[in-house]
Structure 1
Amino acid sequence: MGFVNGAVRTPPEFLVAFTAALVGLGILVLVLGVHGRIPGPSSRPGLRRGAVAGLGQQALLGIGAGVLTLVLTRWVVAGIGIGLLVACWQRLLGGNAEENRGIARLEGLANWTESLRDTIAGAIGLEQAIPATTATSAPVLRPSLNLLVDRLRIREPLPDALLRFAGDVDDPSADVVVAALVLNARLRGPGLRDVLTALATSTREELDVRRRIEASRRSIRRSVQIVLLIVLGVMGVLAVFNRDYVAPYSTVAGQIALMVVAALFLAGLTWLRRLAKVESHERFLTHPETGRTT
């Protein structure tokens, strides 16, 4: 290390080593983002390909942001931190995609329950009502309903087909609706239309509650994003246009201090993300053959 204008500066070799480490880390993130994990059996290959493409784009943006930050500030820790923040932005501060999919699935389930109730009111059996409601169902439920209709066409017993449908949907709210249908299919008792009406009403109420919760969490995420962008913006302006003021951060001790600050930021963002995660209820329907939860 040497002294420049009274401040201790890191040697060029230090920056070169850390730059090489940054590039290697970026290549690793890019490879993981493009290829993902080892492919396994999946009923939604289109969604998986879209997710992998999104990871690849985020990794590229992260690498670009990290290199740009390193060039402008000459702070290795800042370059790595900004690169990782941009690459993981959607995971840490983006929208809750999992909860949005759950809300869409719940809304589709409520619509399908109401449609099934109205179709049954025409004095037709459950086996005939289910195929009649498939064409007008929500896109999120249509693949599972198509599988259900196919199983009914090959003469699979209705209760078993319904249990497999619940496993395809994989939602606790769907278990409640399917349980009522399974009981009716086995006992053939009256009152199914009233039961479906009550279930549709209950599902709508749950949907409204989850939407209000997600709206409040969305506003909190937006506030966190604004605060974080302001802090990073002020730090970036000082690092680029007022280097004398932030000169201590160019030393090894300053980089270590900046690393501690970045770790605290990461811990706070991870904690907030964990608080925003929705705890899903366990499913209770079991597989017709294995006896395990579908």
Structure 2
Amino acid sequence: MNDTGLLLVVTAASVVLVAGLYVLASGFRERPPRRPGPSRLRALDLRAAIGQRKRLAVALVVGVVFGVWTGWPLAFAAGVLGCWHLPRLLGPDTAAAERIATVEAIAAWTEMLRDTLSAAAGLAQAVLASTGVAPHALREPLGRLGASLRARVPFTQALEAFGEDLADPIADQVVVCLVHAHSHQVKHLSDLLSELAEAARAQVSLAVQVNAERAKHRTSMRTITSISLAMAVGFSVFYPPFVAPYGTAAGQGVLLVVIGLFAFSFVLMRRIFRPRPTPRLLVLADTSQEA
């Protein structure tokens, strides 16, 4: 087989590498039982679609630049793959930060609701009053909860919609507690809300410690990746003969294996960093009712 044939084989293998690693990364994603409310779902879908289009455009541009600059078919695939995955693999864990902020807000709202119960005429009035001074992370969900209660939506239905809007296990505990208290006139509700708030703050403290430990490994990943990229770019610019063998069909095959191993290791590290989802009470309750 001549060099042209080998080059075509390497190009096809590069495309298969990109597609295979994308499927692999998709298969590694933990999919917790999360069912956001309609309004939040539409906002998340629109935001995600816009973000993915921007990322795809940037990845294609970078891939074309790398491919034209080096003349390697594999450089295009590596550029697209790197721009698509590396920001999420090596960047800050925004999902964990958002979860911590949400749980902190749930704890603050639970304590606020506990303090409001003594001055309100009933549980429904206490919940409605607490929606007007919501923590920042819960401003929109609590605003929708308050609007539902003012629109005479049944208390249980409004709270369950609020739980689905947040889709968080801690929020489910608070919602189940309030729904049960409203239906069965539970005593010592203030004490129970205090315990839920303490449990939420304990989870926040634990999550902060875990994220701090994971940050060390993320720093190691960033360092290794930065050094590898800097060496590759540096040799390509200042000493091209060093990377010239990779321009052949055999060299592209070797580079394909190297990039595949790097990408596979990053996906595995991402899998390790991602915490296992906690089962939600509302989803479990709905499943048992359907069964």
> So what's the TM-score if we normalise by structure 1?
0.79
The whole-number CA distance in structure 1 between the counterparts of 2:170 and 2:155 is 19
Deviations 1:97-155 (A, max 9, x none): 33222222211111110110111132531111111111221344233323333333344
Cα gap change, 1:92/1:59 in structure 2, threshold over 3 Å: closer, same or farther? same
Q: Which amino acid aligns with 1:58?
A: R
Rounded to whole Å, the distance in 1 between the matches of 2:86 and 2:77 is 14
In the aligned structure 2, how far is the partner of 1:226 from the partner of 1:177? 42
Q: State which of 232, 249, 253 in structure 2 corresponds to 1:252.
A: 249
Q: Identity over the aligned pairs, expressed in percent?
A: 32
State the alpha-carbon separation in 1 of the partners of residues 69 and 130 from structure 2: 59
Q: Which has the larger radius of gyration?
A: 1
Residue number in structure 1 paired with 2:289: 291
1:238 to 235, 240, 247: 235
Tell me the equivalent position of 1:182.
179
Tell me which moved more, 43-52 or 222-231.
Answer: 43-52
List gaps (5 residues or longer) in structure 2: 23-36
Question: Structure 1: where are the runs of 5+ without partners?
Answer: 3-9, 30-40
Q: Structure 1 13/206 Cα, relative in aligned 2: closer, same or farther at 3 Å?
A: closer
2:165 is matched with which residue? 168
User: How much does 1:273 deviate?
Assistant: 0.5
Task: Give the number of the structure with larger relative contact order, counting CA–CA contacts within 8 Å between residues 6 or more apart.
Answer: 2
1:261 maps to 2:258? yes
Task: Verify the 8 A CA contact 2:159 2:175 in the aligned structure 1.
Answer: yes
Shift of 1:11: 5.6
Q: Deviations over 1:162-189 (max 9, x none)?
A: 2332222211111111222122112223
Alignment length (residue pairs): 268
Q: Are the structure 2 counterparts of residues 135 and 62 from structure 1 closer, same or farther at C-alpha, using a change threshold of 3 Å? A: same
Q: Does residue 43 in structure 1 map to residue 39 in structure 2? A: yes
Residue pair 1:60, 1:87 contacting (<8 A) in 2 also: no
Tell me the equivalent position of 1:226.
223
Measured in 1, the distance between the counterparts of 2:271 and 2:134 equals 33
1:190 match: secondary structure: coil
Alignment of 1:121-140 (within 5 A): 121-140=118-137
Within a 5 Å distance, the mapping from 1:78-227 to structure 2 comes to 78-227=75-224
2:220 counterpart letter in structure 1: S
Q: Pick the structure with more helix per residue.
A: 2
Relative to structure 1, is the Cα distance of residues 53 and 254 closer, same or farther in structure 2, using a 3 angstrom cutoff?
A: same
Preserved contact between residue 160 and residue 288 of structure 1 (Cα < 8 Å): no
